[in-house]
Structure 1
């Protein structure tokens, strides 16, 4: 009986933690194009619902580009911050930690001003009120698995 109780407690903890982990989305900025010049990032971001906890992944060849988080004025003017603030790994992951407007630019040469290599997004608070994902999405699979898990817990408690 003790092992069953431990199993149920573990299952309950997983059921509580899983939804918050499953709801975070990882966005590859620019999709297959990645972080590059002459790409319409406004169009890429259009229709996406960025939320606190989501991640932006900027992929690019090391040395070809970089990523700076800037304010609205620096975004508009393509003002490059100090170089020590640049992300330069070629696989930069930014976790969206707070709601509000966020701006990112490339500081290499004229990539921002001439090449349009800049991204502006609005981050919404974390929450369960996001629109339902497409049936083929991973979130749908996780939600289905969570429902099966809950049903299993209920059946174990009633047996």
Structure 2
């Protein structure tokens, strides 16, 4: 029994914390008027567990809607509404997810996003494609500054440190419980 507990402890300590890919919607242009979000999604594969980070100024919001409301730019049946100037949304189910800006006229002028989410075949999803740099995307006052990483054009996750701490604390907690059980079985 002690050998099995020790083996399980070693296995748990060796398991890495896994999370999905993070995409900054619109890359450096953010969630803003004048961005072609259909083109932005065209070279990306989204999987369950990935996150979308919407960066925008106070003239915008993010509403999650159904397909019909997406097509008609209607906010009459909003599934979820997000304010502030930054929101991170985890893609939790496969299928299409629809987002619009509810500010009058913005959705009709193209400020809407359809994301087709695939079931994750590996823990944590797939890494994003390397996006091409935005072409002449003007900066809007109040829009957060763009941050990029050379290989994936992703900013550091604001929660990645917290997620790693939580994952490591979970492993530590399980390790302490297993070590206690191991001592109890030996004693």
Q: With the length of structure 2 as denominator, give the TM-score of the two structures.
A: 0.59
Q: Is 1:51 the counterpart of 2:47 in the alignment?
A: yes
1:91 to 86, 97, 102: 86
Aligned length: 128
Q: Cα distance, 1:13 vs. partner?
A: 1.7
SS in 1 for 2:68: helix
Segment drifting more, 103-112 vs 122-131: 122-131
Instruction: Give the gaps of 5 or more residues in structure 2.
Output: 131-150, 153-187
Instruction: Give the gaps of 5 or more residues in structure 1.
Output: 138-159
- Give the aligned partner of residue 60 of structure 2: 65
Written as runs of structure 1 = structure 2, the 5 A alignment for 1:105-144 is 105-114=100-109, 116-128=110-122, 130=126, 136=151
* Greater relative contact order (Cα < 8 A, sep 6+): 2
8 Å CA contact retained: 1:51, 1:123: yes
- Give the aligned partner of residue 149 of structure 1: none
| Matches of 1:133 and 1:123, distance apart in 2 | 15
- Give the aligned partner of residue 39 of structure 1: 35
Q: Cα distance, 1:133 vs. partner?
A: 7.0
Q: With the length of structure 1 as denominator, give the TM-score of the two structures.
A: 0.69
8 Å CA contact retained: 2:24, 2:30: yes
* CA deviation vs aligned residue, 1:118-142 (integer Å, no higher than 9, x gap): 00011001122858977x56xxxxx
| Matches of 2:53 and 2:126, distance apart in 1 | 21
Q: Is 1:100 the counterpart of 2:65 in the alignment?
A: no
